[in-house]
Structure 1
């Protein structure tokens, strides 16, 4: 009898294990299968609700998941239940529960909702307010205005007051430290706590997310740390034979390259011209350095250079001084820094605008003079057309 009972118990145990295995397999299929969401949504996870239970309720209300138990079990089994980030996230149509867990725990920039972008340029700061349409995954422009020139629209104020938008700075390559510091001080989402601009060239022009209420000094510190890291890596990877004695000299050259061309493919060619000139003892003779000697980076000259200014002696006038100027003349981007430390191998020693936005390069004065003559013709044609 006991043998019979033991045999039946073993049978029940085996059947139970098979049923459990089947249940687990079914749950896993449900967890990884396409979900019930008919259209993409913008899922908001408030800071105080960044936990599995609260989020599960929201997902059920939105119709994004079919089972709270399977969703929560899967999140805990994957050890991601405690990694939920607050913010606004785009959840695509038919997203599986596994995909949703990954979306809300991955972190990084918000992938949905409103975004306020402050584009700090050479002459002005443009503000873009846009909203992501979850259905198309494309941004829809809500408003734009120029700081200090036009009144901020009501939609901008409403987006700021909502408290759920992402805020981002986009710093233009070639802006001076004074221009950047002055622009940041005029942005109403930042606390202006800086009176003096950092050293020229020490700020990395790129994108920076921030939180309203951050100080200008904290943004500038991040920019300086980023630029220092970029310069250190580029200097470590520099090619041999450069006429540059230090990372600081590389930064000076990079700033000149940045101001001389806005064409990405030309940076290393322009760099080669200046490197060739430095190697042969020729003066750099570049207009942006003359302009910096006049403005000291504060504002824009807004006119052409006079002959007296080209001949006027300042520490930055490379028509007068030999070698590099004493400081950078702007804040160069990473590509310009890398170009300064890894130029093309050429014999170019001249270049001039070619009318297309780029430049014509030459290895000798005769060819250069022909390129200059062609550029003067283009200028005259444009003047007549205008």
Structure 2
């Protein structure tokens, strides 16, 4: 075992002096390099920023995904030309977002949606998050309003309905031709122009008419799709019962084939009032033989054009009528019609209806001076504001019970005419 070297004694003075500590090692030239110093500072800043950004990301994600303040579904209209801050104010005022609108604005930037915000009427769901709200606006999921156009209205009546509906904008610049609009239920967003609505109805009619014309019975006497629409419009005005349309169409097709006048009252009315659609009273004796291109008591065959806008079912019925020999039909008192091949049987059906009418005398009024003898005079025109799917009331009178020229057609949707 080696011995430690002896410790030399220190003098009293030396013992009182502080012990000399060796100086620290000098920093290397590399550590003193300014690039290294700057690099270290940059790394430190980056680390701090990463921590900050990470924290902000977590907070922002939670904020964007958190349920919103809406307590129930709500529809909100974002007007055109509204900026991002305007949209934030509207959503805040409507309670879709909370009082911190900057959270919405920040979320828009975070989702890179600033240039994709679209105006429109939007439905926001209960407790919709900021992501849901922004996504709805960006995707343009506007509210679609269902608008029903009833069958059997004239173009003028349809335009009037569109003009009264406040979800549409602008005015119809040109009245569409009769029979070129397809009655159906459509969906439109608020702000759709009325001209755009008309265009859509016309496009639908063209498409449906082309499909039906393609699969029509080749034996029907209509030579053009336009003639098919004309016949369908008469069928539409003559009955509102779905199960009768093809049979009513068969009566008129049989008459066309046999060169018998159609004698349809709605054609008289259209010749008198045109697009207004309603007469507001029974047809007068003098109007039955009044010359008019639309009066099928006077003209042979079809009138020159449609008298209304028929629906799909009436177009189908005109293209593929029932295979019957019927030439007459009259109201049966229950909202439907009784169909016959012979005039004698037809007259018996008329007599039955007259007997039934006597039982509802309380519903009749005194005839006007120009009305036919014995005819009820309460207005019985088809109601233009009601859908034609509703059957005609049973109290609607039929035509006269006296012998009529061959081919007299009976209808529940038209007013009574002179007894013959």
TM-score, length-scaled by structure 1: 0.58
The alpha-carbon deviation at position 335 of structure 1 amounts to 4.2
Given the alignment, which residue of 199, 210, 216 partners 1:235?
Answer: 210
User: Which residue does 1:260 correspond to in 2?
Assistant: 238
Q: CA deviation at 1:87?
A: 3.1
1:257, distance to aligned residue in structure 2 (A):
1.8
2:269 to 291, 304, 310: 291
* Counterpart residue number, 2:137: 104
Partner of residue 131, structure 1: none
| Aligned-partner SS, 2:360 | helix
Counterparts in 2 of 1:274 and 1:382: CA distance versus 1, 3 Å = same
Q: Which moved further from structure 2: 338-347 or 243-252?
A: 338-347
Instruction: Please say if residues 41 and 93 of structure 1, whose CA atoms lie closer than 8 Å, have aligned partners that are also in contact.
Output: yes
CA distance in 2, matches of 1:187, 1:61: 27
CA deviations on 1:141-182 (whole Å, 9 max, x unpaired) are xxxxxxxxxxxxxxxxxxxxxxxxx9x987654333455668
Kindly indicate whether residue 304 of structure 2 is the aligned counterpart of residue 271 of structure 1. Answer: no
- State the SS of the aligned residue for 1:301: coil
TM-superposed deviation, 1:44:
3.6
2:336 aligned with 1:359: yes
Give 2:306's aligned residue.
Answer: 328
Work out whether residues 204 and 333 of structure 1, in 8 Å CA contact, stay in contact via their aligned partners in 2.
Answer: yes
RMSD: 4.9
Residue among 89, 113, 117 paired with 2:122: 89
1:42-101 Cα shifts (integer Å, max 9, x gaps):
4342323364x6545654665545798997898789887654332333323233555434
Alignment of 1:1-386 (within 5 A): 35-49=68-82, 51=84, 55=87, 59=91, 64=96, 82-97=115-130, 99-107=132-140, 110=143, 173-177=151-155, 198-205=176-183, 219=195, 223=198, 226-227=201-202, 229-238=204-213, 239=215, 240-241=217-218, 242-297=220-275, 300-344=278-322, 348-356=326-334, 358-365=335-342, 367-385=345-363
Deviation at 1:254, TM superposition (A): 1.9
More strand by share: 1
Q: 1:39 to 1:330 in 2, by over 3 A?
A: closer
Which residues of structure 1 form unaligned runs of 5+? 1-15, 112-165
How many residue pairs align between the two structures?
307
Q: Judge conservation of contact 1:38–1:93 (CA < 8 Å) in 2.
A: yes
> In 1, distance between residues paired with 2:189 and 2:69?
34
Does the 8 Å CA contact 1:49/1:55 hold for their aligned counterparts? yes
Give SS of 1:89's match. strand
1:239-282 CA deviation, whole Å, 9 max, x = no partner? 33232211110121122122212345543443333334334544
Q: State the distance in 2 between where 1:170 and 1:234 align.
A: 19
Cα distance in 1, alignment partners of residues 147 and 164 from structure 2? 13
The structure whose residues are more often helix, as a share, is: 1
Q: Which segment is superposed worse, 222-231 or 72-81?
A: 72-81
CA distance in 1, matches of 2:108, 2:345: 69
**1: distance between equivalents of 2:113 and 2:312?**
36
Instruction: Judge conservation of contact 1:234–1:341 (CA < 8 Å) in 2.
Output: no
Unaligned runs of 5+ in 2: 1-49, 365-420
Partner of 1:290: helix, strand, or coil? helix
Shift in alpha-carbon separation, 1:304–1:105, aligned structure 2, 3 A: same
Report if aligned partners of 1:271, 1:340 keep a CA contact under 8 Å in 2. yes
